[in-house]
Structure 1
Amino acid sequence: MDLNCSKRPFNFNYSTDVETKRLRKTSDEKNSVITRFEHLSNELLYEIFDYLDPYEIYEAFSKLNIRLHNLVIFSSLPLNINLSSKSISTLEHRCRHVIIPNKHRILSLHLNGYLIIRDFFTHCNIDASFNRLESVVLNGLSEYKVMMILFYLNALPRLFSLTIEMHDDSFFKDEESEISIPISINERFSTIEHLVINHDCNINELTSILSHTPHLRHLTCKNLTETEETIKTVVLLKLVDLKYVCFGQCNIEFDELEVFIKRICSQLQIWRLKTECKTAYLDGNRWKRLIRRHMPQLREFHFDHHVDNDDMDILPDRESIDQFTSKFWTEQQWFFEFKNEAAQYVYSIHPYRERWYDYCEHDRNDVYVNESMLQQRSTYLDIFRQQATTNACRSSISRSQFTIGFYPPDFWNLSFIDDMKFSFLEAQFNHLSIQCRETPVDLLIEIIHLLPQLKSLELSSLPLAHVSSLPAETTGMLLLVSITNEITRVKLNKMGEVEQIHLLMNLCPRMQYLEIECVTYVDLENLLGSILMNNSTCVPYLCCLSICTFDAHEKITQQLNAIIDFERLSDPERAFCDYTIQRTHSRIFLRWKL
C-alpha cells in the first residue's frame, strides 16, 4: 500500500566522496521506510495492531501481500477478543477465521450480551487448546447456562480472572434457584486468581464457588444476599492468597458475615463493604474484635452503613462515636465520618487520606520568596507545620467528621437542629462539612455552637449577608460562638462577595488557614485587602491563604505579588511580612509571618 508515491528531493551535492554516497544511501533507505506502509518494521506494525480489533486486522491486512499475510496469520503476539452485539452478524466468520485458528494466542475473551454468549459457544468450544487464555468476562449470561459455561472453562490451564454478570431477565425468573458447583470441577478451577460476581449471590453460593478457587487473590461480589437454607456441611476454604474482598452490597446478618470472614480472611489486606439497616453493624467494638483476631493484616477498611433517616433510634451518640474513634482505629489510621444525606444517614470508616485541612506540608516545586525572606529562610517556621503529615502523629489523632449533604432550601429549619441536637451534644466531631448550596447564617451558628470540638469547617457556599445587617439575636449568638469555638481551618468553596469572608472571620477568630475558590483579579484584590485590614484584630492567627484554581498558573502568582507590593506601599511593617507563594497543580498557597 503506497502512502506517498513521490519521494522528497535530497539536498546532497553530487560528489564522488565515499562518505557522501554512504549518507545518500542511508537517507534513501530511511525515506523508503517512511513512504511505504509495507516497509514498516515488524515491531512498528505490532504496535499499530495493538490499537485494532483482531478481526479488523485480519480483514484489513491478511490479503494485501505475502509478508502482511504471514505477519497476521503466523504471528505469536497475544490477542484480546472483545465481542458485543455489533459483532453478531459476523460472529460465525470471526470464530472460523480469527478465533479458532488463533486460539493458542488469545489472552483475554470478553463476551458482552446474551445473544453473543449463546452464539459464541455454538460456533466455538473452549478447551485446553486455549492455553494462553487468562481472563474471561461474560456480561449477560443466563442463569441456566452457568453450569454449561463453567464446564467449558474448567479446561483452561491459565484462567486467572473470571467475571460473570447475569442476564437480568433470566435472573429474576426463579428466585429460589442457586448456583452450586459439582465437586468434579474442583481442581480444574485452581488457577483463578481474580473473580468478579457481578450479580446477586447468596452466602451458600459464594462458599460453593470459593471452595473451587484455592489460589484466589481478588474477590468482588456485587450483592451478597441471605439464604433460608442452613449449611448442612462446613465447606473447607483454603484461600491463603486472598488479599482483596469487595462486597458492593452486603445484605446478610452480621453473625453470618462474621462466620464467613473467620473462615477465609486471616491474610486479608483490603476489604470494601457496604451494608444497610441492620444495627448490629454499628457495634464498633465488635468490629475491633473481628479485625484483631481474624484479619491482623488488614491495611484498608472501607465501610459504609446506610440507614433511613426517619429512624431516630440510630442517630450517633457518644458511645458509638467513641467506639469508632478509639485508639484501635486511630492506630490503623482509619477515619470515621457521619453523613446526613437527603433520605438516609451514612456511617463510614475509611483509610486516612489527606484532606484539605491537612495541607500543612506542600511540594516546594514552585516557590516565590520575597527579598527579606531570603535572609532568614532557614529559621522560618509557620504555625501549620505540624507533624500531622507523619504517620506517628496521624496514628495518635482521633478524627471524626460530620457531613451534611445537599438539601433543598426548605430543609433548613429548626426541626433539623432539634432532630440532630442529641447527636451534636453527645458526639465529639472534629470536622464539619456542609455541602448545601446556601446555609442560613443563624442555623450555621447554632450547629457550630452545638459542636464545640470542631477544628475545621467546610462550606459549599454562604448567603450574601453583612454582619452589620444580621438580627440582634443572631449577632449575639455569633459573638458567643466566636468566643467558644476552636475552629482553626476554614474552607469556602464558592465565594460570591468578600462580605462572606468577613462573616467567617467574625465567626472563627482563631482561624489560621483559609481556603477559597477565587477566580477574578477583583476577588483576589478585595480578599487580600480584607485580610490585611482584619489580620491584626479580627483574625490575628491567620497566616496562610490557599486559593483553589483549575490550573495554578503563573498569572495568579504575578497578580498576588502585584497586590501585595501595592499593599506594602501603605503599610510596609504589617502587610504580609516575609511572605512566600507556593504553587501546586490546583492550589496557590500564600504564607506570611505574623
Structure 2
Amino acid sequence: MVNTKRLRSESFYNFHENNDRKRFLPSTTNDNFTQFENLANELIYDIFDYLDFYHIYLSFFNLNFRFRSLLIDSTLPLNINLFLMSKTTFNQYNEDIIKPNQQRIDIFRVTNYYMFDKNTFLFSQMISLQTLILETVRSVQMKDIIQQLISLPNLSSLTISTINAVENIDFIYKRIFRLTSLRYCKLSLSRKFPKHVSPLTLNEYSPIEHLNIDHGIGFDELSTLLLYLPQLRHLSTCIWHKTDFILKPPCAVLNNLTYVSLKLYGCVTFNDLELFLVNYCTSIQFLCISGDKEFLNANRWKRLISSSLTNLQTFDIKCEIRFADNTAIKQEMKNFNSLFWIERQWFFECRAYSTKFYDEILFYSMNPFRRKEYRLSQGKSNKNRFQTNFNSVHHLTIEDNNGINESRYCFPHATMLTLAYKVSINDITIVNNLQRILSLKQIQILEILSDHICPLKMCQLLSYMPNVHTLKFRSMSFDGYGKKRFEENQLFRLISKINLIKSIHFYGKCTLQNLEIFLKLFPNLQYIETSVELQQIQLVLQYLLNQTNTNARHLKLLCFSCDGKESHYISKLIKSRLLPCDCKTMYDDQRLRLYIWW
C-alpha cells in the first residue's frame, strides 16, 4: 500500500517563520559535522519515515519545543505500532500521541490487544485509517470492534486474531462484508469444533480481493461466503471438518480467483475437495494443498487437473502420512513420476521421519520448494536432483543430528530454528554443521526441545546467534554445575552482555532459581511464558514484580500455564495487594493461560 504524504499545516510553518530561520538550516561545526537539530524540517520528516514512531516519540517528544511541534502539529499520516510496553509507558504514549492524533492514523497495529479495555481505542474516530492489525483480541471485544469499523471510509486492509473462542462468527462475517473499501482481510478467530454449523445468510457483496481465513471452516460455510465475493483473487483457508458438503445453487465460478491455498484437516474427503474446486475454482493458476493420505492420489489429481483446472500453472502439495503403508506410498510415488507430471515440470519428494510419538512419511512438491517451513532429518528420501537452496524456508526444524550432518540442502533465509528432541546440543560438531546449511547470525527465534539442557551448552550455541530475540526450551539441568559456579562462568557473563533476547518460553515447571538465572543471563527480558507450582506462585510473583529488582526492570508481561483454580488464586493475590505492583490479568480459558501485565 502506497501512502501519500499530506501537506504540513500552515500554522506549523508560520510558527517557525517567526523564529530565527538559521536554526532550521544545516550548519557545520568546526569539525565539519552537521548537527541533527539544524536539519530542515522536510529532511527530518524524511528520516522519521525510516523509524518506528514510538521510538521517535521516546527520542524527541521531550527534547525541546521544536521537536515536540514536529510530532504533534504535523498533518502527516501516522503509523502506530503498539508492541509490548509497560502500562505506565502506554498510558503516557496514548495521552501524548494516540488520542490527540486519531484522525492522522492510517496504519494501526496492536500485538497484545487483550491487555486493553473496551474503550481504550476509538476506531470510529480514526477516519484516515487504511490498515488495521489487531492480534490476540478477546472474543468479548470483537462485536464492539467490528461495529466501529463500519464508519471508516478508507479501511482497505484488516487483520484480526482472537485469543479465545468466538461464538457468533456469523455476525463477524456479516459486518466485515459491509466494509465498502476493504480489499485485504485475514481472520484467525479461535472457535470450538462445531457439531452443527448454522447456514450463513449474507445480504451484501464485498469488494474483498484477498481473503485469508486462518481458523477452521467447512466447505459449506466457505461456499456461502464465496457467493458474496465476486472480486476475489486470492483465497487461503483451513478446512477442518467434514460437513456433508452439498453444493447449493447458484454456483458461482469466480473468474478473478487465480490463487487457492487449502489446509485440509479431520475427515475432509477428496470428493468434497473436487466438488468445491470444479464449481468455484476452474480459473485458478496456483493451487496449494496440505493434507493427509486421502489426497495422495496421483491418478485422481491428473483427471481433475486435465478436465477442470486447465489454467493451472503451479501445483504445490504436501501430505503428512502417519503409520503409513510403505508399499502403497511407493506405488503412488511412481504414479507422480509419470509423463503428465514431468511435462509440467512438477516434481515431488518423499521423506520418512521418526518423531518422539510416531513414524511419519512426508510427501511434498519440489523444484522449486515454496513452503516457508521445512523438516530436516536422517530419514530416507528419494534423491532430489533439482534444488539445494531452499530460499522460501523461514522456519527450519531439525529432527536429529545426523539430519544436519548428511544434509545436501541450504536454507539461506531461515530466521527460526527448531532443534527437536533427538538433537543433542552437546555434540561438539553441531555449530559447524549448522553453519554449513544456514546463517546462524540470521536466526531470530530459537527453539530447543531436547531434555536436560546444559545451560553452558545453550550459551555456547547462543554465542553464534547474536540476533535471537525469542528463546523457547523445555528444561535446564545444572548437573555438575552449581548455580553460583554457572553465574561466575566467563561464557555466562559474555552472553549476558551481548544477547538481545526479550522473550522466553520455558515449557517445563519453572522454579524461582530458574527465573533468577533467566533474568541475570537475559537482562533485556520483557516477556516470560512458563508454568509454576502453586505453592511457589506468590514467592515467584513477589520476586518478578518487585520494582527494586533491577534484573527484572524490563519485564512487562507474564504468561502462566494454569487451570482455573490456579488462575483464581493468582487473581486473588493481585486483588489483595500482597504483590508490590499494580497488575492487570486476563485468563484464556481455552488454552488455560493467565496473562499478567503491569
TM-score by length of 1: 0.48
- Larger relative helix fraction: 1
Larger radius of gyration: 1
TM-score by length of 2: 0.48
